[in-house]
Amino acid sequence: MGKGVRVLVPATTANLGAGFDCLGMALSFYNVFDFELGSEGFTAAGEGEESLRASGGRLIYRAWQAAYRYRNRSAPPVEIRLQSNIPISRGLGSSATAIIAGLFAANHLGELGLDDHELLLLAAEIEGHPDNVAPALLGGLVVTADGNDESQGQTLHYVVLDPPDELQAVLAVPAFELSTAEARSVLPKSVSHQDAVFNVGRAALFVAAWTSERWDLLGKAMDDRLHQPMRGALVPGLTEVLEAARGAGALGAALSGAGPSVVALTLGQQAAAVSEAMGQAFQDHGIECRIIRTTPAKQGAYLAD
């Protein structure tokens, strides 16, 4: 039997309304990855297992190899087993868990000595944007911004904010998939100055409301003009689901990442009413969905004992 490790990586929700490609939050349910050196092969069970098996774990292996290549080393053969607990192609960061798991396991088993910043740079390069991979790696609410340093090249700036214990997340997960590529294809190549100002203000307000616990401001802070109006055509009933969540007492609601899932943030007792309202709104548009009630996760990727 070869040397092995088990890595757990959380689901994530990105954008949170106005924070397009720069805000992401970890959620308290995890994909579980087992890595064993000495042989090759990939198996998957659970959510989306048929699609995952068909993929052969390509994204995980790509990340595994990228970590070794960063240290100018050849990646050893590894067998990977995935217990998938996160719905795939639903805007909940399933692909981000694959990338982070591959990097995280390689860093540990290969004793590569990569720090969080290096892991995040590699992950963002593979994913194409940092909003999901950052909270998957670091936990909490993560604010990210691309940056270029003349002496160091491409870099990322990020801040991790801990979620409050009382905050809950309600996810309405429709019974259809939506790829990130498809969801990005409907976005305009340019936006008006007015819409840009609208979103900058809302994204800043979200972070300010979070840090000061002004939960009464989250509803306005999660409004958006850069992606949700366009993606509504791909998610029947999106506007009504968002309105239903807020009407039932949610602090705020938004399309989760590229969708089609919708996330609502609540405090305690509101979660049940918000769950029912979101489910009914999707049902009214002929969309079957399931509800996942969870909490923001303070812990990102970690090794199981």
Q: Kindly list the structural domains of the chain, giving each domain's residue range(s) and its CATH number in brackets, ordered by start.
A: 4-162+297-303 (3.30.230.10), 167-294 (3.30.70.890)
- The confidence score (pLDDT) of residue 233 equals 87
pLDDT for the residue 148: 63
- Integer-rounded Cα Rg, in Å, for the chain is 19
Spatial separation of the C-alpha atoms in residues 142 and 137, rounded to whole Å:
10
**First CA to last CA distance, the chain:** 18
pTM of the model: 0.94
**Rounded distance between C-alpha atoms, residue 271 and residue 292, angstroms:** 10
Contact 226, 200 (CB under 8 A): no
* pLDDT for 281: 96
> Alpha-carbon distance 206 to 222, whole Å?
7
Q: Which two tokens stand for residue 276?
A: 């029912």
pLDDT at 179 (0 to 100):
84
- Averages of pLDDT over runs of 10 residues in the chain (305 residues) are 89 96 96 95 95 94 98 96 96 97 98 96 93 97 80 79 94 91 87 94 97 94 93 91 96 94 92 96 95 96 92
**Spatial separation of the C-alpha atoms in residues 80 and 58, rounded to whole Å:** 11
